Structure 1
Amino acid sequence: MKKNIYSKGLLLAVILLYFTSCNNLEEIGLEIQGDNLIVSTHFTDTVTIKTSVTLVDSLITNNKILIGNLNDDKFGKTSTSSYLHLRLDTLDFLEDADAIFDSAEVFFAYTLVSGQENTSQTINLFELTKGFEDSLYYQTSNLDFDANILGSSEINPSLDTVDIFTIRADGYGEKIFNYIKNFDDLNNPDKVDETFKGLRVAPNPDDEGYALKISLPSSQSPSIPTYVRLYYRTPDSETVKTKTLFFNRSFFNAKLDLSSNSDLAGLEFGESIPTNQLKNEGYFIGGTGLTLKIEFPYLDQLKGDDVEFFGINRAQLSFDPIEGSISNYGSPSQFLSFIVLSENGEFNYSRRLLDESAITEGADGKRITVSEVIGNETPIKNVGYNSSAGTYPMAEMTSYIQEVIEGSRKNTGFYLDLNPFTNENVNRLLISDPEHPGESQLHLRIFYSTL
C-alpha cells in the first residue's frame, strides 16, 4: 500500500515538473529512480488518426442571417437564404388617421464573410405564408413563402462604401401601413401573426460569388440599420414622415450541392466518406453540416499492459489548412470547436469539448471536459484561425485524452464545427489527413509519464 501511495505521488510530481519545465522535446525522457521504481516521460505524435468527411443535419441557425451563393469545383455550390420575423411590439397606431402611404424600404446592414467582394448578386425579398412556429431552426429548415418577389436589389460589396443595402418593397409596406391604420387590435400578437408571418431573403439561384452576414440591432448595438421603414405624409403637408419596424427572430438555411465533386457527389445526411478515398483531404464548410469526423481508434492501447500507472502530461491536436488552399477557396472559418459524439456514436449539438483552463477541478480532482448544455457563458474550447500565420493553434485536450485512455470516456471521436455563438459563415477549409503528402498533416501530440 505504501508503495502505491509513493508511486502515485511520484508520478504526480513528474507531471507537475513537466508543466513547469520547457517544452523542448530533446529534454523529455526524464527517468527518476527510487525504491526500484522508474518514472519515465515520453512523447509520441504517431497515434493512429482516422478521419472521414461527414454530412450532419442538426446545426442550429437561430438568430443568424446569411445570404448568398458560393461555388467551386472542389467544394461544390453552397446557397444560403434567411427568414426574418417582424417584431410585433413596434406596431402601433399612426398619429393621423388620414395619413397617406408614400413608399417602403427594407434595410440590411451586412458584413462580407465568405467569397469575393468584387462580384454581384441580386437579392430578392419574399413574403412568408407560414410563420415562426418552432423554437429551434436548423440549416435544413425552411418556411413556406409566396413565390412573387416583393422587391430586389443588386449588390456588389466592392462598390458599397456603407455596407448597407436596401430593397424597395412598396406593396409589402402598404399592406403594413393599411393594417396599422385600420386594425383596432394591434396588441393581439396572434392576430398580427396571421397577417404578417415574416420575410424570406434570398439570392437569385444562378448568381454566385459571396455570402453576406446580416446584423440585427441588439442591446449592445441598438443603432444597427436592419429594419422595415415606411414613408408617409399627412393630407395637409408634403413633409414625408417615417415609421420604423424591427425584426426579432431569424434563421438561415444552407443548401449544399456537391455534384461537381465526383468524390463527394451523392453524400447524404448521416453518411461519411473516409479521407483516404478523398485524396487524403478533409473538407469543412461552415454552417452547412459538411464537417470532418476525427477518431483515435487505438488510443486506449497506448497505455500498454505492463504499466502500473499512466498519466497524460499534455495532449495537443494539430491541424492546418492544406498549403495553397486558402488562395483557391478563401479564408477558412475563424473559430472552430469540437462536438464530442455520445457513447452510442450519435451527434448531439450540446456535447462540445470545453476549455479546460476555464473550469475548476471538482472534489474528485477532475474537470468537466464535455458540456451537456450550451449557453452563452459555457466555456467552449475554440481554435481561432490566425490569418497572418495561415494556421490554427494546437487544440489542448489533455483531460479528454486521459479519460479515453483510462476508460472513463468511450472512444467515439468528435466532429469539427463552428462555435455556435460567434460564427456566421460558410467559409471553406481543406485539411490534410495524416497520410497526405503535404507538410500540414493532422497530428495528435501526446506527452505522457509511466511507472
Structure 2
Amino acid sequence: MNLQVLHKPFFHRALSLGLSAFLLFLTACQQPNEVGLGLISDGDIRLIYVDTLTLRTSTVLLDSINTSNPNLLLSGAYTDPEFGRIRATSYISYIGATVTAAQILPTEAILDSLAIDFSFAYFYGDSSQTQRLEAHVLNQPLAISKEYYNFSSVPFAAQALGSTTITPSTLTRTVGNVRGSNVRIRIDSPDLLARLGNISRGVNPIPKADIDNILPGIALVSEDNSQAVLGFDVAGSGITIFYHLPSDTLGQTAREFIAISAYGLASFNQIQSNRAGTPLASLSSQTPLPNTAYIQNGLGIATKIEIPYLNALKEGNSRLAINRAELIIFPEPNNSVFAPNSTLGLYFLTPEHRPVRTRLFRERAFQEEGRDLNSNTFPLRLSLSSNSRTYRALISSTLQRMQQNENISFLIGSSFYFVSEDDADNPISNANVNRMKLSITPNSTRRMRLELYYTLVK
C-alpha cells in the first residue's frame, strides 16, 4: 500500500511519529476478511497534513435572545468604545418558599421593617465606581407561561420603592455554594410591610397569587451614569421581614423571616445597547459585518465561521476522511475591565444561516468528541487557557459530517449551557454581558485557524 505524506518542516517530528503508528497499522492489515479491508486498493490512500485552513469570518446579530428565568439578575450599565453603551435591568417575580416549622412567621409576630435582598455574584465594567440601585414595583405580575427576551419590558412605577448605593469592588462574589455579599434595599412602606406580613403569618408556603396581589414584582434599575453591570444570584435573593415577639427582651436582635424568594417561576433580564458611532453601528439581524469577529453575551452578537475551501481539498472523485480537526481561537488583547469570556461554544446553522434551535428554544451546540452529534446533552465548551490565552476545540467528528454540505458554516458564541439541555440553570450566556473581539489579523501568529489532519481515499 502506497502512502504519500505532505507536511511542513516544523511539524516533521510529530508527524513522523504519528505516521509510524499509522503505517504499522496498515502493514498489519493482511487478512482480506478484516472489516473494511478489500475496499481500498494499493495507492488509493494519501495522508496530508495542513497546518492552516482559510476561515472566513463575519459578525452576526441573533434576534430573540431568551433571557427568561436567568441564574443572574442583572442591573447596571457600561460604555465600551467598540460595543457602545450597554444597559441591563432585571424584572423579578417572587414566590413563597417552603420552610421548616421553626422558620414560619409566627401569628403573634410584631413586624418591624422590610427589605429586598440580593446576593452579589457578578460584575462587568469598572467595579471601583459607586452606583445606585433602585427597586421599582411592577404594574403587573410576570406571566409564568410566557417567554421573555432581551428586548422585553414590563411597565413599572416611576417612583422607587427603595434604593441603595454600593461600590462593587468592596463586595465579595458568590462562588459555588458560598454566598457573596448581601446587597440590601430597605423598604420604608408600613402598608407593604403589613400586607406581606398578614399573608405570611402561619402560612407555609405563601401562595404566589397572594404575593402577586400585593407585590406584582420588582424592576431592579441602575442609575444612568453607572459604569458596571452587576449580577445577583437569583437563588440567594428575596424579601426579608424583620420582626420580634412579645416575649423578646429589650435590645434583642430583630428576628428575620425569609420565605419570599426571587427564585421563582418568572423573571428576566432586559439588555439594551446603543452602538451609534462604534464599529458595530451598522450591525443588524439582516446586516452582518464581514471580516470582523465580535461576541457579546446577552445581546446575541456572535461570530459566523465559514470554511470555504474544505471540499476543494478533494481531488477528482476522492473522498475526504478527517482524522483530526482542531479549531484554535485567539482573543484580542484586552484590559482587566472588559475581560474575555471564560468559555465559548460552537453552534449549528440552518441552510438559511440561522441558528438551529432545540425543543427548548436554545441554540443547538456542537457536542464533545465521541458523543452523539444529534443530541444536546454534552455541549462542547471551549475554555480559555490561562497560559496560552487561547480557546481550543476538537471538532473532527462534527466537521466530518458537515463536509457533505456545500456551504460549511457555524457560529462561535458565548457558552449557552452548564451541563445539558434539561438543566434548569442552562442559559448562562443570556445572564451576563461579557464582550470580546477575536483575532483575525492576516499573517498574525495569533490569528484564528483550523489545523487539520485528513486522509484522501480515491
TM-score by length of structure 1 reads 0.78
Q: Which amino acid aligns with 1:419?
A: S
Q: Which amino acid aligns with 2:212?
A: D
Give the conservation status (yes or no) of the 8 Å contact 2:297–2:432. Answer: yes
Choose 123-132 or 61-70, whichever is displaced more: 61-70
Shift of 1:227: 2.1
Alignment of 1:357-368 (within 5 A): 357=370, 359=371, 368=372
Q: What SS does structure 2 have at the residue aligned with 1:403?
A: helix
Q: Distance in 1 between matches of 2:296 and 2:60?
A: 11
Q: Distance in 1 between matches of 2:13 and 2:297?
A: 33
Give the conservation status (yes or no) of the 8 Å contact 1:334–1:385. Answer: yes
Match among 249, 258, 275 for residue 258 of structure 1: 275
Q: Distance in 1 between matches of 2:402 and 2:315?
A: 14
Residue 239 of structure 2 aligns with which residue?
228
Give the conservation status (yes or no) of the 8 Å contact 2:97–2:261. Answer: no
Residue 255 of structure 2 aligns with which residue?
241
Q: Which amino acid aligns with 1:330?
A: F
Q: Distance in 2 between matches of 1:83 and 1:294?
A: 34
Choose 226-235 or 118-127, whichever is displaced more: 226-235
Give the conservation status (yes or no) of the 8 Å contact 1:29–1:40. Answer: no
Q: Deviations over 1:29-66 (max 9, x none)?
A: 78879954242111224433221111112333222322
Identical positions, percent: 24
Residue 351 of structure 1 aligns with which residue?
364
Residue 387 of structure 1 aligns with which residue?
386
The answer to whether 1:216 aligns with 2:204 is: no
Residue 312 of structure 1 aligns with which residue?
322
Q: Which amino acid aligns with 1:442?
A: M
Q: What SS does structure 1 have at the residue aligned with 2:412?
A: strand
Q: Distance in 2 between matches of 1:353 and 1:118?
A: 38
Q: Deviations over 1:263-305 (max 9, x none)?
A: 3114223431112xxxxx4111122211111112333333232
Q: Deviations over 1:329-356 (max 9, x none)?
A: 6321111111211233222233211112
Q: Distance in 2 between matches of 1:449 and 1:421?
A: 33
Match among 275, 281, 289 for residue 273 of structure 1: 289
Give the conservation status (yes or no) of the 8 Å contact 2:199–2:210. Answer: no
Residue 60 of structure 2 aligns with which residue?
54
Q: Distance in 2 between matches of 1:142 and 1:23?
A: 60
Give the conservation status (yes or no) of the 8 Å contact 1:119–1:156. Answer: yes
Aligned pair count reads 398
Which runs of 5 or more residues in structure 2 are unaligned?
Answer: 6-11, 28-39, 173-179, 419-427
Shift of 1:131: 1.9
Q: Which amino acid aligns with 1:401?
A: L
Q: Which amino acid aligns with 1:197?
A: P
Residue 411 of structure 1 aligns with which residue?
407
Shift of 1:94: 4.7
Aligned in 2, Cα 1:197/1:37: closer, same or farther, shift over 3 Å? Answer: same
Q: Deviations over 1:47-105 (max 9, x none)?
A: 332211111123332223222222121221211221221113569985345x5432212
Residue 432 of structure 1 aligns with which residue?
439
Q: Which amino acid aligns with 1:265?
A: A
Give the conservation status (yes or no) of the 8 Å contact 2:199–2:206. Answer: no
Alignment of 1:48-127 (within 5 A): 48-61=54-67, 62-64=69-71, 65-89=73-97, 94-96=105-107, 99-127=109-137
Which runs of 5 or more residues in structure 1 are unaligned?
Answer: 1-6, 15-21, 218-223, 276-280, 360-367
Q: Deviations over 1:165-184 (max 9, x none)?
A: 2111232x741532442799
Aligned in 2, Cα 1:402/1:156: closer, same or farther, shift over 3 Å? Answer: same
The answer to whether 1:420 aligns with 2:416 is: yes
